[in-house]
Structures are given as C-alpha cells and as structure tokens.
Chains A and B, each alone.
Chain A
Amino acid sequence: MGKKISYFSSGLFNVSLRYLLRNRLQSILMLLGVALGVTLLVAIDLANVSAQRSFELSVEAVTGKATHQLVTADPRGIDESVYVNLRMQGVHVPIAPVLLAYVTVPRMEGRTLQLMGIDPIADVPFRSYLSLNGQVPLEQLVLFLTKPGAVFIARNMADQHSLDIGETLEIEIGGQRREIWIAGILEPKDALSRRALDGLLLADIATAQELTGRVGRLDRIDLILPTDSNLVHLFAERLPPDIRLEDATTRSDSLEQMTAAFRINLTALSMLALVVGLFLIYNTMTFAVVQRRELFGTLRCLGVTRREIFVLVVGEAFLVGILGSTLGIISGIILGRQTTQMVTQTINDLYFTTTVQSVELPVESLIKGVLVGVTATMLAAVLPAWEAASVPPRAALLRSGLEARTRRKIWLASALGIVTIGLGIGLFSFPAGGLFAGFVGTFLLVVGIALLSALLMVVFLQISVHLLGGIIGFVGRMAPRSLINSLSRTSVAVAALMVAVAVTIAVNLMIDSFRYTVTLWLEATLQGDIYISAPTLTATIPSQPVVREVINVVEVLPSASRVNYSRSITVDSSQGAVRLSAISNERIGWERLFLKRFVPLEQIWQALQQGQILVSEPLARRANLLTEGSVLRLFTPQGWQTFRIAGVYYDYASSEGAILMSMDVYQKVWQDDSVTAIDLRLRPGADVDQTVQDLQKKLGDVQELLIRPNRVLRAAVMEVFGRTFAITTALRFLATVVAFIGVLNALLLQQIERRWETGVLQALGLTGKQLWQLVMLETGLMGLSAGLLAAPTGYVLALVLIYVINQRSFGWTLQLLPQPAAFFQALVISLAAALLAGLFPAWRMNRLQASQLIRNE
C-alpha cells in the first residue's frame, strides 16, 4: 500500500480520553494505584537522598579541598608535635590541623552541632569560609584567635536561633558542659556553602582543644598533595608508625557504604508498594480492555491497525501514569518530610551523626518518581494493550470466550510460576550475587507465587461451590462460580492482595524474629546490674571516656562484687573502619553467643589475653573470617598488626562489624588506659535502684553520666530497635492500603460489568438481602483465597528476609520466631480488606433499580 501508518489520530485520542472521563471511578482508582506507589517511592528516595546529601555536606564542610589526610591509630588523636615537625621540616605542600567534636546545645533543643577546630591561617587553601568571605572584620578575627571559647557560626543558624555576636551559649561535649562565645557570623555567598556550614561551629584549634579537653591533640592533618603517586608514596614513608596517610575520600566512602544496605532495603520496601500498585494498574487496564472488546473490534473493522489499538491503550496508561505520578510526587514530598526525619534518626542511632538539617529538595528524586511511575504504568499496560490489539475485527468474540481462554492460560501461568519460583530459589543459592541477587530472587519468588495463585484460587473456589451451595444454597453456589467466570480480573486482584498481605506477614515475622533475637542476645550479653557511660550521640556504643574520678568511686563501691571496664574506639582494619571494644570481663566466653569458636569456651579469656580477638558475625561474614586460623589486620599505634580470631560472636549492635579484645592487650598496644563504659555486678541482695541513686549523687558533679540499671538499658536498646523499624512498619501498612484499593477496584469493576446481570437477577426476584449476601460472599471468597495463599507465602518470604536479605544486607543471623498466629493474621487482614472493599459495591448495587440496570445496559 506504501502508506504510512499513523500512530494516533485525534479521533482515537478522543475515544481514549472520553472513556477515561466517562468511567471516572475506574480512572480515579487507576490514578490512585500509580499515585500511592509513586508517593512511597518518592518519600523514601527523598529520605535517602536527603540523608546522603546532608552527610555529604557535613563531610564537605570539614574536608574542603584536602586530597589526603594524616590520621592516627591513637584514640586520643595525633600529637600536635607531628604537625609542628612537618611545618619545621618545610613540607612544601599545604597542610592544616583539624580537630572535630560533636556537641549538643541545650538552648537549641538539644540540637547536635559539629565543632571544628582549625588554624585560620593554614586553613586558607582548604576551606573558604574565612578567606573567601574577606568580610570577617579584623577585630572579630582577633577575638576568634584570642578569646577562650570564641566561635564563628553561620548566618542561617544565627537567624534560626536568634543568636548574635557577643552572645554566650552553653554546650555539652562528652558529658561535660562548656561555654562558647559568638565572635562572628559567617555569611556564605552561595547556597551550597550556606547548607554546608549549617550545623558547624568554627573555632580556632586551640579553643577547640580547650573545649574538648584534648589539649595538644589533633584529629587529623589535612594535606593537598599533587597527583604524583611517587610523591604521595615518599610522603607516606616518612611518617611515624602510628600515623597513616589516607585519601580524603576513603573515610567518607566507607561511612557511605555503611548505610548503603540500610538505604537499599528501604528502597526495596518502597518499591513493594509500586509493585502492588502495578497489579492494580494491570487489573484496571485489563478490565478497560475487556470492557471495550466490542469497541476495539469495531475500530478494527473501520481500519484501525493493531499497532494503533496498542498505542491507544498504552497512551491511556501514559496519561494515567503522568497524572498519577504528578499526584504521587506532591504527596511524596509531604510524606517525605516524615520519612526523612525517620531515616535520619535511624542513621544517627546506628551509624554516624549528621549535623546538616536542611537540604534542598533533590530534583533527581522527583524526576525518578515520574519516570518510574510512568514507565511502570506503561509496562503494566503492555499485556492488556497486547490483548486489545489482538481483538479480531469481527467484534464478535464473546466474553465467555475470553474467560475460557483465561482459564486455559492458568496452566501456562502456573507452569511459568513454578519456573519463576525455581529461578528465584536458584538465585538465593549464589551467595556471590550479594544483596542485588537476593532482591531479584525475592521478586521472582513473589511473582512466581502470584502466577501460581490463580490455579490455587480456582481449586479453592471449586471446593467452595459445593460447600457453600450445600450451606447457603443458590447464592452460595453462584458467588464462587461468578468469581471463576470472571477470572481474568478476579485472579489479578487476589494475587495483588495476596502479595501485599504476604509481605505484611513476612515483615511482621521478620521484625518479631529480630526482636526475639535481640532479646535473647541482650539476655546473654547484658549481664551487668548497672551500666555507666558518658552520653553519646549514636545510640548503640559508648565512645566518650569516663573521667578517672568515676573509676575511683566505683572501684570501692561496697555493694559491687565485680566491676568490668570497657574501652570502645573505632580502628582501621584491612576491612575498613570497625568498632573495637577492649574488655576486662574474664567471663566474656559465657556472656556472648557464638556462631563459631576456635578455642574451648573456658579458654576464650586466656586466648584473648594472649592477643587473640573475637569478631562479630557481620564482620566475620564480610571479611570471610569463619574458618579456624583466620586473622585480621588492624592499624595500631605501632603500625599494622595481625590478630588471630578466637571466635565469632552474634552481635546486633552494628552492621559494620565489631571486635572484642582483652583490655590488657589493648592497653599494651594502644597505650591508652581510658574507659568508656563500666558494668557493675552487685552482691546478692544489693538494691540496684538504691545503688544507682547513690552513684548519681556521688558522680553528679564529676561528669554527666548515664547510670542505668540493666532493665533501663535493655529498654533503651529496644526503643532504638523500635525506632529503626518504625519506617518499615509505615511502609508495610501503606502497601496493604494499595492492595486494599486493588481489591476494591476489582470488585467495583466486577459489579459495574455485571450491572445487567444483577438487574436481571433483581427482576427475577433476588432480594436486597440476597444481593448483599452475593456481593459480600464474592468479596469474602476473594479475601479468603488471598489470605489462605498469603499465610504460607508470608512464611516463605519471612525465611527469605531472615536468612537471605538480612544476612546479605547486614550480616546478621536472626532466630526465626515461629508464630502460628501469623496464619490467622493473614486470613483476618485479607478477609477484612476484602469485606471492607465489598461494602461500597454492595451498597451501590442495592441503590439501583432493576429496571435502571437493565435499561442502562
């Protein structure tokens, strides 16, 4: 014919648009499906990106243009003399000392800020806050250098908290109260510097040393080295053994990696809502096609090509995708404020402190939301569009023919489901595939079970025909039969509900198992009666030393039968930064749960005293230290040293890894006798609360301390645990809401389609009560099918989450807490969702008169 096929004519566009406008309820449900999915995706992405960006800004603020940094293995910091020597040696590259500390400000509602001590002269090539400004008046600079406690703050912070030059502020550093004095207010020119400076207190290095009580010490020395690897190498060779030269990005990269698994897990969970939303879109689009089979047949007769029909349906999906995604983005931004707070809180609890509070709305998250929303909607519409394009131009294919074909396809879908499940399980058996393979495997498993669900649903409904027929009679037989006869849509709705409920059950089981595991772990690990430590900004492990006077008091406490000390620091290992805890507890072997032991239990302490170490499960898994004879290299003040592994213990305090070492060995190698936590074992009969009160009285003036009885500390740990899973719970709930809308959608569509049939039934004498019965039975059966399938599926998914996803994400082994109630829960959720969804259609059908229903048809 030589004629070009047009992809779309305005007439066809009208056909689509009018259909969407006429069937408003359907269109709204489709929009909701997309919008809810995108909302969660955007909200989580905003939280993730904001948390990451605020971390990057915090790092940028303190790293500046430094290419390398000198760091030490000494927990007290670098001796200032190292910096002085480098200066004296005439090093011809820019170098600058830095001291960092987190402080909290009571007047700012306990907000955490970063105190950064710098040498304003040496710092010029590194950070632009003072130099570029040029507007810092000389007298302010003089005060900054000379007045004790003098700091500069940024304009943002000053405005936010109504602070002005000359004001004093009380701050808390490691349990000690100090006063700072505002010497000047920095006015960064660009938005980026403004945000980077948000949360920073800039002080002269000597002031910072005084405020932190670390006179003569530095955290690091920044350098700008040319990109000549030889020079870097030569520079590194001339350093003392306890000092190491590292790339400036190394530390921030490893911190970022730490939270990567956490962020990926959140993203995966947010994708779940979108997947459930996709079922909804697919369901509605399929219905929209089924409903218009005759119309498509007519269009085909009029000469509309298959491709044009395909484009027509996908075009509708595009329109819905764009509108739904736009709505999703708006609600995502609103929800994002909550999720950002939750994610930042969890990161602060578990990983590190971020001080930057406001970050700009990341445009990429919004673009991502629209792209994913539109693409997903169009993908969900591909199959229905294909179905529409396959409508023969005769317009005579009966609906019953389509349903018969659907029933035949069930076998194919089930076979495909089994293959998909097999592929998913296959992926789990490749540990090398990591977290990504874990998620792909989980996705395949869910899709496989969803594909299989139609067959299982038919089996269940066939049984119901006989059972309900016997009990209720005509309506009892009719309800399951009608579901079987409209399988092309009911099966998708049931699959969607099943997936959402199964995931809810799985996440519930996983969280309960996690809580159970943590409780067991706390029981074994926290055996002290009273714990003493200085307040810290991260919730899990104390890192601020307690002062000597505190030790002097507890050592002679009459009610104490034993006192154990520990010192926690972050050390560099061959596997990156890890948390090292030096302990004096000789009974440690009995107070940890071991995954692997390479020495007998009673010889653990002896092994530690001889220089061996215990490593936590996440570290052992990551570094492959699960075999006897494994060793780990640590950077010590004497350079790199190798430590033999005596055992691997379960630990749920950190996912990056932890090491236990004997206090004696630590003090010998690190030359550090500080203590960060004390646990007291009281004599039998001693009053724990009374002892805590006594200690608080005695130590109140010495140092601000957390003196907590065992049960309070446990409760605090469980509170952090609860906070960590708050966002998971919220996401899980929203996924169920999407699934609920899916069932409502399917039921409404089914009722709309069966208006004529219902009218005839009413005309034949079906009472309003019987109509209610019919609709509620149908929805109930759908819910029951979904629930019956969701219970075992949820269990399988829980196993995957516990033994694959969690282990690959964080390296934790959780103890599965079997809960038969989960089955019941699955049934109740599904049934409740389905019955609730059935109320509206039943009410709607009852309102219409038979004559109306028949005439409308």
Chain B
Amino acid sequence: MMKEHWVTQPSQIFLKLDNIFKSYNEAGRQHTVLDGITTEFFKSEFVAILGKSGSGKSTLLNLIGSVDRPDAGEIYLNGEHVTGMDDTRRTLFRREKIGFIFQSFNLIPTLTVWENIKLPLELNKKINTKWLKRAQELVELVGLGDRLQAFPDRLSGGEQQRVAIVRALVHDPLLVLADEPTGNLDEVTGRQIMTLLDQMTRQAGKNLVLVTHSREVASLADRNFILASGKLRECSKSQEC
C-alpha cells in the first residue's frame, strides 16, 4: 500500500526510471539483470530496495547514481536527463548532486578523516567558512570531532561508516545512495548508523535510496521495493516482499 503523501503529491517526482534494461556477458552468455524497470521516486523520499544477492540491487543503484549506463531506457533525476549526458557531464552531475555510501566504506586510506570529509567540498569548489562550518557540524553530529586527524585504518567499522555518511552529505547533495551501509557492521552499530542516516537525510529533506537485504533496515524507509528476476516491484512493509 502506497503512503498517502506520495499519492497526494504526484507532481513532486524526483527520480524517474523509464524502461531500464541492463545485462552482463558472463562466459559468453547474456545475463539480464534489469529487465525493463519503470518507476518513480518522489521528493524527500526514503526508498529501500530489497533483493537477494546477485539480484541486481547494486547495479540499479549504480545506474541511479550515474556511475553506470543502462543498455536501454532513460533516467531523469530532478528533471535532468541523466542518461543523455556524456561521461564528463555525468561525473560533474554526480559530483554535485549525489552522495555515495558503500558497504565497505571506501574511505581514501591516505587522507585523514577531516581530509576525506573535505574532499567533496574541494571537488565542488566549496572550501569556504560556510561549508567548512557545515562539515564541522556534521562531524560533531556523528560524534567524530576528536578523530579528525586520524587515518581511516585507525577507525572502527562504525566510525568509518560515520565518516562515509558525513562525506556523502557534506556538499549537500540532492540524493544519497547507500549500498548495504550496515552490511559490514554489527547489529547495534548498524542500528546507530541507520538512525543517523535517517536523521541526516530524510529528516533533512533529502532523498535516500538504500539497497539492503535487511528487513529491519528496510522498515525504516517510506517505501520498499523488491528486485527479483530483473523486475522491480513495490511492496508493503507489512507484506512479505
């Protein structure tokens, strides 16, 4: 069952996937991962995508995040035709509008926590008092104010993921994409991370698309989708997806 406010605000479409196809060649055989996916996500929505391992969740996330291109179909994000952009434009679009959170954190090992966090600001030429203040606030919010000069390999998994969340949000992107953000964390830490993520995205009016196989994590989302056999199907959180 769809939540009421999405039904009542159909004009607030933020992300539109139109007949998306994606397949891979595996040992000479075409393996279709996404088979004509069409859907719409709305502004300030937190969407969770569930599915078994190898179902194509990460592929879909990569397509939404413009790091990969579909074989066919169109993607519109915030009114912009992402699939029509060339590689450089897509990169610059991603740089400005999207924040990524990975299962394995993917912090830059040679940069300190603070340098990792500042990196999107530097790339977006936002190194000024206003943005640095914002970065500082986010750091305080995630409780890492005393670890700024540490290198990633000195942090615990939970701490690393908190840095990754701040890095994904520091430049104020429109959309945050999270790929199994709690997959490498224990239950308690995972829950803390999800609370933080929810607080910093949906509650801050941002869009969050999250890929997970955890029902508990998915239950925090506004809407749940399940990806199976290349098809994306919306399912109620109360139903078996």
Interface residues of A (CB under 8 A from B): 1, 3, 5-6, 9-12, 14-15, 18-19, 22, 294-295, 297-307, 392-396
- The answer to whether A6 and B125 touch (CB under 8 A), given A19-B110, A295-B109, A301-B67, is yes
A394→B63 CA distance, assembly (Å): 10
B122 interface hit (Cβ, 8 Å): yes
Q: Specify which of B62, B91, B108, B122 is in contact with A298 (CB 8 Å cutoff).
A: B108
Residues of B within 8 A of A6 (CB): 123, 125
Mask for B88-105, Cβ within 8 A of A = 1, else 0? 110111111010101000
Question: Chain A's nearest CB lies how many Å from the CB of B98?
Answer: 8
**16 contacting pairs across A/B (C-beta < 8 A):** A1-B89, A1-B92, A5-B92, A6-B125, A9-B123, A15-B108, A15-B110, A301-B100, A301-B102, A301-B106, A302-B119, A303-B92, A392-B67, A392-B68, A393-B94, A395-B102
The A/B interface has a contact count, at CB < 8 Å, of: 87
Residues of A within 8 A of B93 (CB): 1
Residues of A within 8 A of B102 (CB): 298, 301, 395
B111 interface hit (Cβ, 8 Å): yes
Q: Are A11 and B106 in contact (CB under 8 A)?
A: no
Q: Which of B94, B96, B110, B111 has the most CB of A within 10 A?
A: B110
A302→B95 CA distance, assembly (Å): 6
Question: Chain B's nearest CB lies how many Å from the CB of A294?
Answer: 7
Residues of A within 8 A of B88 (CB): 5, 305-307
Q: Are B94 and A11 in contact (CB under 8 A)?
A: no
- The answer to whether A295 and B122 touch (CB under 8 A), given A5-B88, A305-B92, A394-B62, is no
Give the interface size bracket for B toward A: 20 to 34
Chain A residue, CB-CB nearest to B96: A303
Q: Are A11 and B91 in contact (CB under 8 A)?
A: no
Residues of B within 8 A of A392 (CB): 67-68
Question: Chain A's nearest CB lies how many Å from the CB of B58?
Answer: 8
B120 interface hit (Cβ, 8 Å): yes
A19→B110 CA distance, assembly (Å): 6
Chain A to chain B: the 6 pairs with minimum beta-carbon distance, closest first: A303-B95, A18-B110, A393-B67, A11-B122, A298-B106, A9-B122
A15→B89 CA distance, assembly (Å): 23
B234 interface hit (Cβ, 8 Å): no
Interface residues of B (CB under 8 A from A): 58, 62, 65, 67-68, 87-89, 91-96, 98, 100, 102, 106, 108-111, 115, 118-120, 122-125, 167
Question: Chain A's nearest CB lies how many Å from the CB of B113?
Answer: 13
A250→B83 CA distance, assembly (Å): 70
A5→B102 CA distance, assembly (Å): 25
A396→B58 CA distance, assembly (Å): 10
Instruction: For the A-B complex with A11-B111, A294-B106, A393-B68 known, give 6 more contacts whose Cβ atoms are closer than 8 Å.
Output: A15-B110, A295-B108, A298-B102, A302-B120, A303-B120, A393-B94
- The answer to whether A303 and B111 touch (CB under 8 A), given A11-B123, A394-B68, is no
Chain A residue, CB-CB nearest to B107: A298
Residues of B within 8 A of A1 (CB): 89, 92-93, 96
Residues of B within 8 A of A295 (CB): 108-109
Residues of B within 8 A of A14 (CB): 110-111, 115
Residues of A within 8 A of B125 (CB): 6
- The answer to whether A301 and B94 touch (CB under 8 A), given A392-B67, A394-B62, A394-B68, is yes
Residues of B within 8 A of A304 (CB): 91, 95, 123
Question: Chain B's nearest CB lies how many Å from the CB of A25?
Answer: 15
Q: Are B122 and A301 in contact (CB under 8 A)?
A: no
- The answer to whether A302 and B100 touch (CB under 8 A), given A14-B111, A19-B110, is yes
A10→B127 CA distance, assembly (Å): 11
Question: Chain A's nearest CB lies how many Å from the CB of B49?
Answer: 17
Chain A residue, CB-CB nearest to B177: A301
A727→B65 CA distance, assembly (Å): 61
A18→B96 CA distance, assembly (Å): 25
Residues of B within 8 A of A9 (CB): 119, 122-123
Question: Chain B's nearest CB lies how many Å from the CB of A435?
Answer: 46
Chain B residue, CB-CB nearest to A297: B106
A5→B26 CA distance, assembly (Å): 36
Q: Which of B95, B96, B102 has the most CB of A within 10 A?
A: B95
Question: Chain B's nearest CB lies how many Å from the CB of A508?
Answer: 45
